[in-house]
Amino acid sequence: MSNPHIPVLLSEVLTSFESTKIKVFVDGTVGAGGHAAALLAVHSEITHYIGIDQDPSALQIASEKLKHWQDKVILKHANFGQFDKVLAELNIQQVDGFLVDLGVSSMQLDQAERGFSFSKDGPLDMRMDPTNPLFAAEIVNTWSEKELGRIFRDYGEEKQWRIAAQAIVSARQNQVIVTTLDLVKVLEPVLYRNYKKGINPLTLIFQGLRIATNQELQKLEIFLEKAFHHLAPAGRLAVISFHSLEDRIVKNQIRLQSDDKWETSGIGGIFRDKEPMTKTVTKKPIIPSEEEIKINARSRSAKLRVAEKI
């Protein structure tokens, strides 16, 4: 199998860990192994490179790509929020570097049978982990109009969320929505009436479904809560996100861990002192260069944020 995946912000990721002495590194979304190969090539001091991915096909590709470092690389099938269980199995307490590259990969988008893309006809699946019992088709055909609307509004950030939810609920009364093309046929007539320019509304609807199917935002929050505690002093955490929902979670969590106060909400909230756990390395997110976007158009929405353990 060829490796079509181009690692995003590769030189920027390498720069982020340039001054870090790494023995143990956790790559929470190892994918095709592009970032891993580059990091292993420049950090010869690495003794354990733990590559985690919830997609078994990605792990197969990574295994082949990283075989030069097979004495250092440990590949595990899990989602990145479960990294602490992997560390416990290996009897490892601290990590010198974390990297997660969020969102759907080019490999997944290009495989019609995975159901991630509305431009390719395939089963309405969208599972990054094939052992996940929840399919996108189940959400589309059984969840309530209110729940569908919430997904499209909160996860897809699609302005026509209510119209999309209504159209799906109406259509499924006559016929089960089984494939990506089935869903497109339901949504195109209603969503394209007011669509003139900007992001294709189908892109946002499919994004919302994918996030809900894989519980992506919940897993990100779980990962960040744990990762800061497992970082060794002077260790670094780097996260590449691809939409505002992910980036907001990463930004707020890094800010909280770098602050000397516990954030509170509500009128009259008390701001209790605390010891900062990290320092923010990237005050603003790092974004791809124009040259990278020309080579890999899918990198255009990527944002990299980095924090360092105090």
**For 114, which DSSP code?**
G
Q: Are 36 and 30 in contact, with CB atoms under 8 Å apart?
A: yes
User: Domain 10-107+216-309, CATH 3.40.50.170 — does that match?
Assistant: no
Residues 197 and 216: their CA atoms lie apart, in Å, by 28
Phi, psi of 12 (to 5 degrees): -70, -35
Sign of CA pseudo-dihedral 121, 34, 52, 257: negative
pLDDT at 260 over 90: no
Q: For residue 152, what pLDDT is reported? A: 98
Mean pLDDT of 22-36: 97
Quick one: which H or E segment has residue 237? strand 231-241
Other CB atoms closer than 10 Å to residue 216's CB: what's the count? 22
Q: For residue 33, what pLDDT is reported? A: 96
Other CB atoms closer than 10 Å to residue 290's CB: what's the count? 7
Which residue from 308, 307, 304 is spatially nearest to 12, judged by alpha carbons?
Answer: 304
Q: For residue 2, what pLDDT is reported? A: 42
Instruction: Give the rounded distance of the alpha carbon of 307 from its chain centre.
Output: 17
| Residue 47, amino acid | T
pLDDT single digits (tens) 98-141: 999 997 766 666 677 787 788 889 999 999 999 999 999 999 99
More confident site: 117 or 5:
117
Quick one: which H or E segment has residue 307? strand 303-309
pLDDT at 213 over 80: yes
Q: For residue 195, what pLDDT is reported? A: 76
Confidence of residue 262 (pLDDT cuts 50, 70, 90): confident
Q: Are 29 and 80 in contact, with CB atoms under 8 Å apart?
A: yes
Q: What percent of the chain has pLDDT over 90?
A: 84
Q: For residue 178, what pLDDT is reported? A: 97
Confidence of residue 149 (pLDDT cuts 50, 70, 90): very high
Q: For residue 3, what pLDDT is reported? A: 42
Which residues of the chain does CATH 3.40.50.150 include?
A: 10-107+216-309
Cα angle: 128, vertex 101, 258; to 5 degrees? 130
Residues 58 and 184: their CA atoms lie apart, in Å, by 27
**CA atoms within 13 Å, Cβ hemisphere of 122:** 18
Torsion of CA 26, 31, 34, 35, to 10 degrees: -30
pLDDT single digits (tens) 40-83: 999 999 999 999 999 999 999 999 999 999 999 999 999 999 99
Phi, psi of 50 (to 5 degrees): -95, 110
195 is written with which tokens?
């669509």
The CATH class for the domain spanning 112-214 reads mainly alpha
Q: Burial, 113: exposed, middle or buried (Cβ in 10 Å; 0-12, 13-18, 19+)?
A: exposed
Confidence of residue 266 (pLDDT cuts 50, 70, 90): low
Q: For residue 264, what pLDDT is reported? A: 54
Quick one: which H or E segment has residue 291? helix 290-295
Q: pTM of the prediction? A: 0.91
